[in-house]
Amino acid sequence: MKINEVVSLEFLAQMINGLSLGSIYALIALGYTMVYGICKMLNFAHGDVIMVGAYMLSVAMGMLGLPPVLAILLSMVVCACLGVTIERIAYKPLRNASPLAVLITAIGVSYFLQSSALLIFGSTQRKVESAINVSSVQLGELTIGGNALVTLLLTIVLMTGLTWFINHTMTGKAMLAVSEDKGAAQLMGVNVNRTIATTFLIGSALAAVAGVLFISSYGFVGPYTGAMPGIKAFVAAVLGGIGSVPGAMLGGILLGLIESLSKAYISTQLADAIVFGVLIVVLLVKPTGLLGKKRTEKV
């Protein structure tokens, strides 16, 4: 085998790594961006929903002995309920409050979830068996791991489904309408509270899937498991243009690619710095992010 074949094989493998990592970021980023679009708030507790999803998986599979598919569904349902409950209790009363108050509340909710996990499960990380039992696939000389394969396929399905849902159902259009103008949406008969709840529900269910996928590769879950992927996904959402659904998808995938290629070819230590560097450069050139639109100010 020639040297450049080895290099390109290695490069392809890194690309697949990056795509699957990026898929996870994208799934999380969707929750950030949808909630931002509709409520104009940064839900910093979103990352911790991933952690809850991962714990649920470990409980469902390890303690309840559920099969993986059921465990994933249970984890999605629990996170969806959690997301809706958080919105209802913590954010809804602040609908007309200052953005700073909402931000601080979101950070509070984040600490609350982490501390609750600490109380219930303790500080030591728990080993989680992978929910994905798919053997790797051989494409010529390239091996694609089962985890990466499932992550990629599931993400494609979920993103296609979400895009279809937003653009082709009246509930989806109502979400767009509410994110643009709550008053006008109400005049059309849209129940704004229910639409916002639906947004949290979808975002949190996607976060649960991301949590399951993340933990299936990583293998351990602890109370702070959600923090790092949460921040990365937030960066992805901003990179893609916060409030833009395709932006979150693009931002997530790009971030994953940049991160894994930097780790492979530049430096493991510098990878995160490079990720944030790219964000800064993009924001300098295009402050609204890659696919973000400048919103027309309403008076």
Partner 1 sequence: MALLRVENLQVYYGVIQAVKGISFEVNQGEIVALIGANGAGKTTVLHTVTGLVPAKAGSITFNGVDLMKTPAHKIVSMGMAHVPEGRRIFQELTVYENLQMGAFTRRDKAEIAESLEMVYAHFPRLEERKKQIAGTLSGGEQQMLAIGRALMSKPSIILMDEPSMGLSPLFVSEIFAIIQEINKAGTTVLIVEQNAKKVLSIADRAYVLETGNISMSGNAQDLMNDDAVKKAYLGE
Binding residues for partner 1 (CB under 8 A): 170, 173-174, 176-177, 180-181, 183-192, 293, 296, 298-299
Of 212 and 248, the one with the shorter C-beta distance to partner 1 is 248
Strand ranges for 108-265 from DSSP E: 126-127, 137-139, 142-144, 220-221
Of 139 and 187, the one with the shorter C-beta distance to partner 1 is 187
Classify residue 125 by its DSSP letter: P
CB of 43 to partner 1, least distance (A): 22
Of 60 and 177, the one with the shorter C-beta distance to partner 1 is 177
CB of 129 to partner 1, least distance (A): 44
DSSP lists the bridge partners of residue 127 as: 220
CB of 287 to partner 1, least distance (A): 19
Angle between helices 146-168 and 170-180 (to 10 degrees): 80
* Cβ atoms within 10 Å of 164's Cβ, excluding its own: 11
Q: What tokens does 158 get?
A: 């979920």
CB of 187 to partner 1, least distance (A): 5
Tally of CA atoms within 13 A in the half-sphere of 221 that contains its CB: 28
CA 83, 49, 271 angle in degrees (round to 5)? 140
Of 114 and 198, the one with the shorter C-beta distance to partner 1 is 198
Which residue's entry shows tokens 């990878």? 271
CB of 91 to partner 1, least distance (A): 19
CB of 245 to partner 1, least distance (A): 12
Q: What tokens does 220 get?
A: 């351990």
Of 2 and 294, the one with the shorter C-beta distance to partner 1 is 294
Sign of CA dihedral 180, 182, 187, 191: positive
Of 4 and 297, the one with the shorter C-beta distance to partner 1 is 297
